[in-house]
A and B are shown apart, each in its own frame.
Chain A
Amino acid sequence: MQAVILAAGEGRRCRPLTQTKSKVMLPVGNSPFMEHVIRALAENGVSELNVVVGYQKERVMDHFEDGIDFDVHITYIDQGKPLGTAHALRKAEPYIDREFLVLNGDNLIDSCAVGELVGASGDFVILAALRRHTGDYGVLTIEENRVQSIVEKPGRACSGLLNTGAYKFSPAIFEELPLTPISERGSYELTQTLSQMIENGREIQAVITEGVWADAIFSWDLLNANSLALSLNGTKVLGEVEPGAWLKGQVEVGEGSVIRSGCYLVGPVSIGRNCDIGPNVTILPSTSVGDSARIGSNTEIRNSIIMNGARIGSGAIVSDSIIGASSTIGDQSMIESGPSVVEVEEKFHRAEFGAVLADNVTAGGRVLLQPGTIVGTDSCIGSGASVRGWIERNSRVI
């Protein structure tokens, strides 16, 4: 079977993490969102993939190349202008000649959920997920698996069946796509295409998934997706664990990494390749540490994502936080966790986390980051500073 993966969007609401790479490349459970998607497809024997790329496409192509390492074959299609999901899918038309799947590259999905979609019957099938809060997603009303309507962003928090944005289509969809009405934002969205098809009496099926499906709307939501993704991992220690270090529960340690004496790791935890951890570092659930990271002695990390090449000094405490690639946090720094209110795209959101640091942030020694702090790419925070709120890209905080 063929598949189209939509991977062209930036994922603006995940800024500042998406300033340097698109949302599909943000890591959860130590692999980018899209790697989970591709593995789920490969496990179901879907190997001919068409990936629609756009924003920061080089990052995507550098990671997945021709797909051989993931047991699939990838053709990259450039979306050109970012004009919505229906527009992106139209770009894939020349490559599709039979039934195919459409998946978002920036959602976490497991092979069980993909399998349900592969096995579903019908020309147009939507993968639905039952959730307590449907929040910002389209909500489906269905009767005997036939979709009656798609309500876009009901606004009020309610429980219901949400549209995961994963579909199975016959090539007949390409006749419908050009008829998509333009949205208020000036783009062509697949949900609009489907709504219009329902109005015209076309039959659209829904499959309610029992597998894993998760999204991250804001940058800090990545922590939940990370803990979900980590729970799917097993225990695999390829690196060196020095005597006196203790690994408890599901812990992965990649090739070339060293866990020095006195470290205490409680899973689910995943440590990438070529990391240097410790001595005497405590890492608590659910933490992912990317490749080539360095964590200094006597540091404690809880429920966090530390990306590739990040450095955390000695005696630091990092909780419920995301540290971007190649960022540095100085000795004895502290990231506090707690409730806060964060402004994203001129709206206020309640959240409970520590801090989100984008790529290449440098924080000196004894820095205090208060709950809900967000720091943009390439920023620099001087030693001893106490920081809160939203720090823009390329800032200097003294």
Chain B
Amino acid sequence: MCGIVAYIGCEKAGPVLFDTLKRLEYRGYDSAGVAIKSNEEIEVIKSAGKIADLEKIYVSLGSPGETIGIGHTRWATHGRPSDSNAHPFISGQIAIVHNGIIENYLDLRELLTEMGFVFSSETDSEVLAHLINLYYKEDLSEAVARALAQVEGSYAVAVLAAGSPYLVCARKDSPLVLGVGDGATYVASDVPALLPYTRNVVRMKDGEIARLYRDRIDIFDLEGRPQSHQVETIEWDMDAAEKGGYTHFMLKEIHEQPRAIRETFSGRISEIEGDVRLSLGLSESEIRSLERVTIIACGTSYHAGLLAKYLFVRAAGLPVEVEMASEFQHLQVRPRTLILGITQSGETADTLLALKKARTCGVRSLAITNVVGSTVTELVDGTIYTRCGPEIGVAATKTFTGQLIALILLAIRLGRARGHLTPDQARKMIVELTRLPGLVQRVLEKREEIRKIAEDYSGAECYFFIGRDFLYPIALEGALKMKEIAYIPSEGYAGGELKHGPLALITEETPVVALATCGKKIQSNIKEVKARGADVVALATEGDPDIGKVANVVIELPETRPVFSAVLCSVVVQLLSYYTADKLGLPIDKPRNLAKCVTVE
């Protein structure tokens, strides 16, 4: 989701633009830029990366510019973010920022090239900049109107010209709001960005074009006829708006999982061919010659990597080592190893360092990340994006399940390329994968049942999570979530390991969450802890006839393949720790001592 801002007023434009851009940050972005009027010229600063970095460049240039400017954040969902593709675009004396899609841009581009305009990027937005420049004589708004009349598609634009005393903006099928301040006028893609400056806004209608002065707004239609406008006073507050009715981002993001999962696999699977399409940057023969996979990750991503350990050997015949990134420096990389880095943000310092080290060993590498164009993508041969959208809660939820889906897709691809999976086996897995969002939705509907269990045990001193096979990583993840947000010391163990030590810690006061959707062996482990007086909450497949006899409470999950039931169990342990923390009144979205993206070693 891209964002547009603009300012015309009495203060220096730079700081105001950066501040409003930062307020659009929560929608996600990967490159940003501003254009500010300076001594009858236009100063443009843009770059791929963070707004904070852009601001540093601005300050290092001596905070140039006067009181009129425009700015833009770009979130590339497909294709690379780069300096040249970042907005604003300049053509002669004008600069523009644009959201939306210009459908006839190829025709226009050809036309403009013939007329001698030079293009510096591949974007459709630059066409608009040149088109406005073509028509610009004296009246900027007339030039914009004439340019937009040539354009098919959707747009929200803000235009700045060196010689014009006012800004121009226009919209069609793409959001844009004007803010009426005290001696200043603001523009943003949505209302929250404006709230610190003004609560009086004007919502532009489709096909309208506005001239913005510091003390007034004139709105016209594309034929130049004046239009009336209404100033609306905003009375809601911003924090609540972003959470969309939920009390915490974490709960919102847990509920976004059916969509995040669907987005992550859609367009990549082909049921008819029984294969998965991923751009890995590896040839078929390179995949066939692989001997092992080494996964490098931290925290929740490490747990996702552990699932691959169980999956890759079965689906693709590849043994997997999973290393915590911070410990990787002490290890050697053998030839014919595939290195796979997993990092939500793509910026985790430990993981980046380990990948750099691995690259020096001359092996191929891949990354799984949620952020398009993040640093990790520069270090590897190919990237698989989880398409979960920005995650704001510090505890990873939807990006964890997104990573599991990306790993399942990769397993199928590797398995098919290596001839380890037949097309029919792969097809069956794909069919099951397409059912998964619906199954996750059914698990979400058990929220009241899970909330009650969480509240019953919220006073526990210590929690245990046990699981076997595909569910062992989920047991670890459940324990981590409980530690992270509910601050309850928790342990995740493989079911069979209990008797080799931790059993000593089990008492009547330690609830045990048993992940039991995968195999019968876990039932004997449940009996072991039951015998020590612990209460057992079992996650089992619907209609399991035996589990009710051994567990105190059973949460029934829809039937699916074991590897997919790991995803369903993840959702349950997320809800369990969320409701526990909620009952205890803890700051769920910002737990103490933790940061969303760890960029230090």
Taking Cβ atoms with an 8 Å cutoff, the residues of A that contact B are 20, 45, 47-48, 53, 57-58, 60-62, 64-66, 68, 71, 73-76, 95, 97, 256, 260, 273-274, 276, 291-292, 294, 308-309, 311, 325-326, 359-360, 378
Contacts and interface: CB of A to CB of B under 8 A. Distances in A.
A291 B235 CA distance: 36
Interface stretch (B241-249, B321-329, B513-521, B587-595): B241-249
Interface string B232-273: 101110001110111000001001100100100011000110
Given A45-B203, A45-B205, A47-B203, A294 B266 contact: no
Contacts of B245: 53, 57, 60-61, 74, 76
A311 B434 contact: yes
B438 A65 contact: no
B435 A309 contact: yes
Contacts of B175: 68, 71
A76 B272 CA distance: 43
Contacts of B272: 260, 276
A60 B234 CA distance: 23
The CB with the most chain A CB atoms within 10 A, among B175, B266, B444, is that of B266
Given A294-B271, A360-B442, A274 B266 contact: yes
Nearest to B190: A68
Given A53-B245, A68-B175, A276-B272, A75 B434 contact: no
B236 A75 contact: yes
Contacts of B262: 274, 291-292, 309
B437 interface: yes
Contacts of A260: 272
Given A45-B203, A273-B266, A64 B445 contact: no
A65 B244 CA distance: 5
18 contacts: A20-B445, A58-B447, A64-B244, A73-B191, A73-B236, A73-B241, A75-B241, A95-B236, A274-B262, A276-B272, A291-B262, A292-B262, A292-B266, A292-B437, A294-B434, A325-B438, A360-B442, A360-B558
B252 to A, nearest CB: 8
Nearest to B241: A66
A62 B438 contact: no
B259 A62 contact: yes
A311 B110 CA distance: 44
Interface residues of B, number: 37
Contact of B444 (A57, A58, A71): A58
Nearest to B256: A62
A260 B235 CA distance: 50
A276 B271 contact: yes
A65 B249 CA distance: 12
Nearest to B254: A58
Interface of B: 175, 190-191, 203, 205, 230, 232, 234-236, 240-242, 244-246, 252, 255-256, 259, 262, 266-267, 271-272, 431, 434-435, 437-439, 441-442, 444-445, 447, 558
Nearest to B257: A62
Contact of B267 (A20, A48, A274): A274
Nearest to B445: A20
Contact of B246 (A45, A61, A73, A378): A61
Contact of B434 (A68, A273, A309): A309
A20 B558 CA distance: 15
Contact of A256 (B259, B267, B431): B267
A74 B438 CA distance: 26
Given A73-B191, A309-B435, A62 B255 contact: yes
A378 B245 CA distance: 28
B235 A97 contact: yes
> What's the dominant secondary structure at chain A's contact region?
loop
A53 B256 CA distance: 18
Nearest to A78: B245
A394 B86 CA distance: 53
B236 A309 contact: no
A67 to B, nearest CB: 8
A66 B242 contact: yes
B353 to A, nearest CB: 37
B244 A76 contact: yes
A360 B262 CA distance: 16
Contacts of B236: 48, 73, 75, 95
A111 to B, nearest CB: 12
A212 B408 CA distance: 46
Nearest to A291: B262
Contacts of B242: 66
Contacts of B438: 308-309, 325-326, 359-360
Nearest to A56: B445
B241 A326 contact: no
A360 B232 CA distance: 45
B24 to A, nearest CB: 11
Nearest to A76: B245
Contacts of B256: 62
B39 to A, nearest CB: 37
A81 to B, nearest CB: 16
B244 A66 contact: yes
B435 A48 contact: no
A143 B478 CA distance: 66
A19 to B, nearest CB: 10
Contacts of B439: 326
A299 B442 CA distance: 28
B181 to A, nearest CB: 19
A65 B234 CA distance: 18
B139 to A, nearest CB: 28
Contacts of B259: 62
A378 B234 CA distance: 44
A71 B171 CA distance: 12
A153 B190 CA distance: 44
A256 B387 CA distance: 15
Contacts of A62: 255-256, 259
Nearest to A326: B438
A95 B236 CA distance: 8
Nearest to A51: B245
A326 B256 CA distance: 17
A64 to B, nearest CB: 7
B435 A326 contact: yes
Contacts of A308: 438
Contacts of B431: 311
The CB with the most chain A CB atoms within 10 A, among B236, B245, B256, is that of B245
Contacts of B441: 20, 325-326
A58 B272 CA distance: 34
B579 to A, nearest CB: 14
A60 B246 CA distance: 11
Contacts of B230: 45
